[in-house]
Structures are given as C-alpha cells and as structure tokens.
Amino acid sequence: MSADLSPTARALLAFESIQDRPGITGAELAARLGVTDRAARRYVGILREAGIPVESLSGPYGGYRVGRGARLAPLMFSTPEALGLVMAVLQGWHGAADGDHPVAAALGKIVRVLPASSAAPVEAMRRVSAQNPGDAAASPDPQLTATVAQACESRQQLKLVYRTRDMVVDPWAVVVRHGRWYLLCWSHSARARRVLRIDRVAHASPTGASFTVPADLDPVRDVEQHLADGWTYQVEVRIEAPIDVASHWVSRSLGRLHPDSDDTCLLHGTTDNPEWYAAQLAATQLPFFVLAGDEVRAQVQALAARLARAAAR
C-alpha cells in the first residue's frame, strides 16, 4: 500500500474493503490498508464520524460490516462484469430495449454510466435481445411480483385477479422455471392446489388473513409435476431401473414416477411435443419401453432410426 495516500483516501479504501468483505477483521483491514491495527481503527472511526454505520462484532464470526442505512458509493463495472450482468438480466427479460418498463430503464442506466469501451458491447447485446424479443408477455410486472413474493414470505392471503376471474389464494411459493414465473398456491374457490402464471395476474392485494404452509411442501417439485400434466398426448413408460435411481435421471417435467418392482418403475406423463419427449427419454441413459402413447412411440422409433443411420459406415 502506498504511503502517499491521504487519510481520506485510506478511509474510503477502508469503506470499500468492508463493503467487499463483510466480517473483515481488524488485522485483515490493517493489512489491506498497510497500516497498524490502531490506525485501521482510526479510519473506521472517521467513517463513523462521517455518518457511515460501520458495525463491529466480536467472536469467531465477528469483524466489521456496513450496517443498514449506508449510502453506497457509485457502482463501477468492468466490461466482463457489465456483459455478464446484462446477459443474466436478458435471460429472463425479453421486452423492448427502450421503454418505460423498470428492467428496460435499469439496463439503460447501466449502459449510460459505463465507459465507452464497455458500453459498446453491452449496448450491442441489449439490441440483439430487442430484435429477438421472444415471449415478452411472459415477463411479469416487477411491483406485482414483489407483492406476491412478500405475501409468500409473510404468509398473507391474497385476493387476485387472474386473467378475468377473481380468486382468493394462500400464496405458498414463487417458482421460476424455464423463463416463466409461477405462483404455487391453494385456491379457496377451487379448494385445490393451483399453479398460476404471474404474468397473467392483473392485480394482487392482501386480504388481511394469514395461512400455514403445508409441512411437506416442495415448491419446485410440485410446479414441475403440474407442468407435466394436462397436455394432449398421454404417455406411459417402464424404466428399467429402481425408482430411487430413475428419479435422479428422469426430469419431473416428463411426469410422475411410480414403483413397479424392485428393479423397475413406471413413468406417467403427458406432452404436446412427442419428438421432444422421445429425445428426453433417450437422454436419461436408462433402458426404457414405451407401454402406451403411440405418438411418443413413433418418435422413439424415428430417433432410433436416425441414430442408426448416423452410426452406419
């Protein structure tokens, strides 16, 4: 550490170090600043005098950390960091690059504060997404999604407008699968579990009532099983493996597994895309037989023929 740094610069460096490594010890902070432990404590004192809530905790998991209410310094991104952040956002956002949507506005702010060398590739990435918007309607409203997520956390019952009908639900969990946001809930009107697409929720407000989440709830499992039901073509497949082995290889999006014998199990599912379903079965790398579902059986035969031709001399 350069001895030419001013006390203010060292205090700012201390602030950055504490932000980057919550729980940093006094000795670690002193080493980062290149000063003694006593001097490091003095710079922490300068930060506190400036109104920055630096907390110190004792014990093996103690150290310095920034408390709530701190006004953070402006964010600085390198080009790889900015590109990675924008790509991560665009994986779940398929709307227009310019517009009033909070995601579009946030992406615009990121691009505007970047240096020119970083902004150009990030802007190009953003424009590519804008030219290939995909299913933009599947992106739910952020504020409404936050309301639903908070109700899940606080166990508060919600009144929803879903598409055109009113519903009262116990919101159990929000699950993101395949780029879509789902609400797993108990519908009081249907008296059954329901999986709702949040982008189809027009309004959500707490009723003031509370609820209890089922003890055996597995949100991801329940949503995936729901997504595997209700499609056009019925399928029954015997998997030549015990159910505990098959469960590690067979995606829950294909359907439900049931025990058949000690060495086999049955898969019951539905699909609108037999070709995709056949490819997913082959990808399990487990021996299987299509017991029912002529559409899927035909696609398995076609896939086998293509593979045989590919392996021919």
Q: pLDDT digits over 196-241, tens only? A: 999 899 999 999 999 999 998 999 888 888 887 778 899 999 999 9
Phi, psi of 243 (to 5 degrees): -65, -30
Q: What pLDDT band is residue 258 in, cutting at 50, 70 and 90?
A: very high
* Model pTM score: 0.53
The C-alpha angle 82, 86, 87, rounded to 5 degrees, equals 115
CATH number corresponding to 228-311: 3.30.70
Determine the pLDDT at residue 69: 58
3-state DSSP helix/strand/coil % of the chain, to nearest 5? 45, 25, 30
What is the percentage of the chain residues whose pLDDT exceeds 70?
Answer: 78
Q: What is the mean pLDDT of the chain?
A: 82
- In CATH terms, the fold of domain 142-217 is SH3 type barrels. (2.30.30)
The C-alpha angle 204, 207, 210, rounded to 5 degrees, equals 115
Q: pLDDT digits over 179-202, tens only? A: 778 999 999 988 888 999 998 999
d(CA 34, CA 10): 9
d(CA 226, CA 253): 8
Q: What does the pLDDT average to over 34-50? A: 87
DSSP string, 47-88: HHHTT--EEEE-STT-EEEE-TT--PPPP---HHHHHHHHHH
- In CATH terms, the fold of domain 7-66 is Arc Repressor Mutant, subunit A (1.10.10)
Coil, helix or strand at residue 26: helix
